[in-house]
């Protein structure tokens, strides 16, 4: 095998490993409920914003207890499940379980992290809209 083929195979192997390798799991820890305007936000307002955001982003929600939800999203043959804890001042989104997302220890497929970031942004948007 000539040197060019060896280098090409090595480069391809590194590329494929980078594409498949997991990323650290992105959790949202005690995100502050940011609002504008003078309206005070209640726990019910935060709950409503989370429900609207999860619905908008394609997540289904099961209420576990006051201030606690479990949300699930299915994308093609992938599934992610998170716990969402909330109050009138903050909320958290924590990884719970997944299917076909290469979860290993503290790493997971990068798409999971994108879904969490987009869900967090949507919650923030809904909170701002609810306080206008």
Model confidence over 65-120: pLDDT tens digits?
Answer: 999 999 999 999 999 999 999 999 999 999 999 999 999 999 999 999 999 999 99
Give the whole-angstrom CA distance, residue 97 versus residue 110.
15
pTM: 0.82
Query: Residue 73: what are its φ and ψ, rounded to 5°?
Result: -130, 140
Q: Say whether 106 sits in a helix, a strand or coil.
A: coil
Which of 37-41, 53-57, 87-91, 102-106 has the least mean pLDDT? Answer: 37-41
Query: What domains are there in the chain, each with its CATH number?
Result: 3-130 (3.30.310.80)
What does DSSP say about strands 107-108 and 68-75: parallel, antiparallel, or unpaired? Answer: unpaired
Whether 31 has a pLDDT exceeding 80, the answer reads: yes
Q: Which residue would you say has higher pLDDT here, 107 or 17? A: 107
Q: How far is CA 72 from CA 19, 59, 77, 79, 102, in A?
A: 25, 5, 13, 7, 17
């Amino acid at each position: 095998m000539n040197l060019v083929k060896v280098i090409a195979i090595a480069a391809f192997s590194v590329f494929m490993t980078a594409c498949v390798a997991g990323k650290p799991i992105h959790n949202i820890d005690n995100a502050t409920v940011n609002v504008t305007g003078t309206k005070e936000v209640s726990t019910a307002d935060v709950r409503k914003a989370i429900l609207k955001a999860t619905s908008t982003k394609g997540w289904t929600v099961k209420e576990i207890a006051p201030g606690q939800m479990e949300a699930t999203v299915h994308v093609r043959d992938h599934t992610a499940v998170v716990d969402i804890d909330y109050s009138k001042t903050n909320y958290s989104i924590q990884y719970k379980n997944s299917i076909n997302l290469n979860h290993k220890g503290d790493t997971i497929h990068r798409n999971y992290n994108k879904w969490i970031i987009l869900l967090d942004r949507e919650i923030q948007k809904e909170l701002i809209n609810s306080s206008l």
